[in-house]
Amino acid sequence: MPETYNPQLGREHSYPYEHQEEERDWHWGMIININRCINCNTCSFACKSTWTSGEGEEYMWWMNVETEPYGGYPMGWDMRLLDDLGQDETIFEAAEEGERVKGYVAQKEEWEYPALGDDQVHGEYPTGDVVESDLENDEYHDMWQFYLPRLCNHCKNPACLAACPRKAIYKREEDGIVLLDQERCRGYRKCVKSCPYHKPMYNPETGVSEKPVGCFPRIEEGNVPRCVSSCIGKTRLHGNINRGPDAGHPGGNASAAAGRSPVNYLAKSDEKIALPLYPQFGTRPQVFYMPPYHVPPEFLTQMFTPNTDEKRNDWPGDTFEESIKIVQDRVRNPSHHTLGILQLFGATTRLIETYTVKEHRVKGWDRKGNKVVDMPFEEEMEVREGEMWTNQ
Ligand code: SF4
Ligand code: F3S
């Protein structure tokens, strides 16, 4: 198997195909600020009503939100796989003989409870009858949970693509979206078994599998995916993860800002602030999460770092756990620049290709170089002259 460099792990590992993902001008990417998610599942229903409301698709939730640490769809999807992987072993390196990827097929009952574990908290309960906010002995703060929105990551090393013997899964040249060709598919279900995030799903009515499509028809028209535009918590930002600091003006329009995209800044700048989910699987997922700042860092270390003993200079702390604490602090107390980018979340349904943050104003341009956002950090207020009405 060819070796591929995985920047999320800082090392090479085997992957069945040779490819140069960094050379694409455009690659689908998403940032999710977990701290803003309230588990309303508006995203899940928007996705389902758009894409999976047909026959045989009843159990398919391409977008779901689960409660950590007890939720999971399918149940226990992450721990089951992590338990099977050796130290520093990706799912490609751990593959058994005759297979290309290590995985498992979740059984029917594991798909039957998408909301199991919802709102269940972890930690010590206080001894009193009611929860008291006793800041001195910290008892109240021992309990924690958080919501984790989950979707296909349109990975740069897709396990689904690697596993399919029919080559029915491919990455689109123009945007890196990973699609499944149902005409080629013969229902072998290696993709279902291999995706560590369990997003390809089998349709028993048609006899072929289906997988999330990254809302490509909307992307082609310059709009963000449905889960992003419908999110009432404004948790998400979508865009070109490959647009780095050296990129030119979008659409060749000199009046638009040149340079990196806002998603690229949050995921790839030195101010590391958004992290991939379970990078140790090795698929290079392209959804990046701003981690919850109230959760014990040791839990998040397992979830959002390569989680090895190796020292890594591209992380802000001496250890991964220390790095997570620093990232949590950056999310809780964002820099002026990040605060500006946070205003772009949910600001428009148009896809923001480039941006500027100047003083207290943030602006964004689409792929053609048209301005789509121009707003202050704080909403302007107009105070009317005259007496206030009171009910006295
Ligand atoms: Fe494939 Fe799963 Fe990655 Fe999506 S998340 S591209 S289905 S391996
Ligand atoms: Fe391939 Fe998955 Fe179909 S493995 S043949 S795309 S079911």
For 149-162, write each residue's pLDDT tens digit. Answer: 999 999 999 999 99
Mean pLDDT of 46-60: 97
Q: Give the mean pLDDT of 208-236.
A: 98
SS3 state of residue 330: helix
Bridge pairing between strands 287-290 and 28-33? parallel
Residue 154 alpha carbon, nearest atom of ligand 1: 6
Higher pLDDT, 125 or 53: 53
Residue 308 domain flag: yes
Name which residue sits closest to atom 6 of ligand 1, judged by CA: 154
- Joined tokens for residue 52: 């999976």
Rounded CA-CA distance 292/332 in Å is 9
Ligand 1 atom 2 nearest Cα: 195
* % residues pLDDT > 70 (the chain): 94
Give the pLDDT mean for 77-82: 94
Ligand 1: centre distance to CA 159 (Å): 6
Residue 141's pLDDT band (boundaries 50, 70, 90)? Answer: very low
Sequence-distant (6+) residues with CB within 8 A of 388 are none
Asked if 192 and 256 sit in the same domain, the reply is: no
Question: Which of 15, 189, 211 maximizes ligand 1 atoms within 8 Å of its Cβ, making it the mutation to test the pocket?
Answer: 211
Q: Does a structural domain hold residue 166? A: yes
Examine the domain organization and report whether 188 and 59 are in the same domain: yes
Q: Are residues 130 and 232 in the same domain?
A: no
- 201 & 223 share domain: no
231 and 336, same domain (yes or no): yes
Q: Is the CB of 279 under 6 A from ligand 1?
A: no
Ligand 2 pocket, mutate which of 99, 100, 191, 192 (most atoms under 8 A from CB) = 191
Question: Is residue 372 domain-resident?
Answer: yes
Give the pLDDT confidence score for residue 312 in this predicted structure.
86
| Structural domain total, the chain | 2
The preferred substitution site among 178, 189, 216 for testing ligand 1, maximizing ligand atoms within 8 Å of CB, is: 178
- Tell me what pLDDT residue 120 has: 87
Whether 390 is in a domain gets the answer no
| Pair (295, 280) in one structural domain | yes
Domain ends where: 212, 232, 265?
Answer: 212
- The total of other beta-carbon atoms located within 10 Å of residue 386's CB is 5
The band of 23, judged by pLDDT with boundaries at 50, 70 and 90, is confident
The predicted structure's pLDDT at residue 389: 64
Residues 190 and 272 grouped into a single domain: no
Distance separating the N- and C-terminal Cα atoms of the chain: 80
Confidence band of 388 (pLDDT split at 50, 70, 90):
low
Q: Which atom of ligand 1 is nearest to the CA of 151?
A: 5
Both 154 and 232 in one domain: the answer is no
Write down which residue in 212, 242, 276 finishes a domain: 212
Residue 358 covered by a domain: yes
The verdict on residue 36 lying in a domain is: no
Q: Are residues 255 and 281 in the same domain?
A: yes
Q: Any idea which ligand is nearest the CA of 92?
A: 1
Rounded to two decimals, the ipTM of the complex is 0.94
Distance between CA atoms of residues 330 and 342, nearest Å: 12
Same domain as 205, residue 224: no
Q: Do residues 115 and 236 both lie within one domain?
A: no
How many angstroms does the Cα of residue 7 sit away from the middle of ligand 1? 18
Judgement on whether residues 112 and 191 belong to the same structural domain of the protein: yes
| 138/135 Cα distance (integer angstroms) | 5
CA of 160 to the centre of ligand 2 (A): 8
Nearest in space to 74 (alpha carbons), one of 112, 104, 47, 102: 112
For the stretch 312-351, pLDDT in tens is 889 999 999 999 999 999 999 999 999 999 999 999 999 9
Q: Is residue 256 part of a domain?
A: yes
Rank 35-49, 121-135, 141-155 by mean pLDDT and report only the highest.
35-49
The rounded Å distance from CA 328 to ligand 1 centre is: 27
What is the residue range of 294's domain? 219-376
**Residue holding tokens 């920047």?**
7
